[in-house]
Amino acid sequence: MPHILVAEDDATTREMIRGILTKEGYDVSVAADGMSALRILKKKNFDLVLLDIWMPKMSGLGLIGTLHGEQHIPKIIVMTSDKTSDTVLNSLRGQVYQFLPKPVDANTLISTVENALSEDPSVPPIEVLSANKHWVELLVPCERSVVSRVQSFLSRLETDLPADVMEKVGYAFRELLNNAIEWGGHLDPNLKVRISYIRTRKLLMYRLDDPGPGFKMEDLKHAAVSNPVDDPMAHMTIREQKGLRPGGLGLMLTQQLVDELVYNEARNEVVLIKYL
């Protein structure tokens, strides 16, 4: 049975998380501040820690710093309503597994915990090449769960933008990262995608560099993006002929959601731009 520690100073939230996870069959311990959490972690090995950031005595980030260099460091999911970029960047640097915005709900909590605990332990960690609020650069393994993890951090850097812009950029980024991991990296966790997030006063830019050889547009007949103007549904017929299930709208939708979508010649690097 996986052991989970919930470090949270608000008793109501603590009770909620403990109640939900205990019912799911996990062994749950709780701590009301950073110091108690540290004491409990020293006594017993945990698989996962759900960590609040603002706690008395020692903050969540302080706790992460203290754990650095320990023999057994559990996976850490940071739960916070905090929107400051420093919290996000320090969490990334501290090898936090995922960000979980508050208030949490049972469905999101259960699926996030399940994903974190079911990940193959041989999957390499996300490498942080730059963690500056204008420039974040990461090297991520080609593994599906990475998409929601990376997005849980980067989307927190965009909370000053209007909700619809965040949603559009989020969708487009997810689509491109999924493509990079699946088509470029063939879901091989030993291969890496390099992600750059660049934010200036006037624009938000993502650049994704996948480990694959790239692709040709003519090989994408099964995707809506290749459809001739007079036949907007042509890809549906091709998908049927190829025995593929309905779909293929991702790239086309992505083009419509952002201002610029530019590929390099080989098409294994892509840049997405949203003007602000």
Partner 1 sequence: MSRKPKDHTHSPWGRPASFPTSSKTINPSSRPVAGRPLRILFADDQDDIRTLTAYQLKRSGHTVVTAKDGKKALKMFRSASFDVVLLDQEMPGMTGSEVARAIRKDEGGKKTRVFLVASTGNTSLEDARSLKLAGFDDVLGKPYRLEDLNLILSSSPAAKPASRSASLPSPAAGATFAELVTRVGGDEKLLKRMIHTFLRDTPKRVTGIALAIRRRDSESLASLAHALKGSVSIFGAESARKHSQDLQELGRSGDLAAAQEILISLKEDIAKLQANLRGYANQTPARPKSDHAKRQRPPRNRGKRRR
Question: Which is it for strands 135-141 and 127-132: parallel, antiparallel or unpaired?
Answer: antiparallel
Stretch touching partner 1 by CB under 8 A, among 21-29, 151-159, 200-208, 260-268: 21-29
Q: Which of 178, 196, 227, 255 binds partner 1 (CB under 8 A)?
A: 178
| Site for partner 1 contains 106 (CB under 8 A) | yes
Helix (H) or strand (E) holding 198: strand 192-199
Distances (CA, A) of 39 to 34, 35, 77, 106: 9, 6, 18, 28
Closest CA to 194 of 148, 142, 154: 142
Stretch touching partner 1 by CB under 8 A, among 196-204, 212-220, 246-254, 265-273: 246-254
| Site for partner 1 contains 56 (CB under 8 A) | yes
Where are the alpha helices (H) located in the chain, listed in sequence order? 11-23, 34-43, 60-67, 85-93, 106-118, 145-154, 163-179, 234-242, 250-257
| Site for partner 1 contains 236 (CB under 8 A) | yes
Supply 261's token pair. Answer: 């979508």
Q: Report, in Å, the least distance between residue 270 CB and partner 1.
A: 17
Q: Match 């909370």 to its residue by tokens.
A: 159
Q: Which of residues 123-152 bind partner 1 (CB under 8 A)?
A: none
Question: Footprint of partner 1 on this chain (CB under 8 A)?
Answer: 1-2, 8-13, 15-16, 19-20, 23, 25-26, 52, 54, 56, 81, 102-103, 105-107, 110-111, 117-118, 167, 171, 174-175, 178, 232-233, 236, 245-250, 253
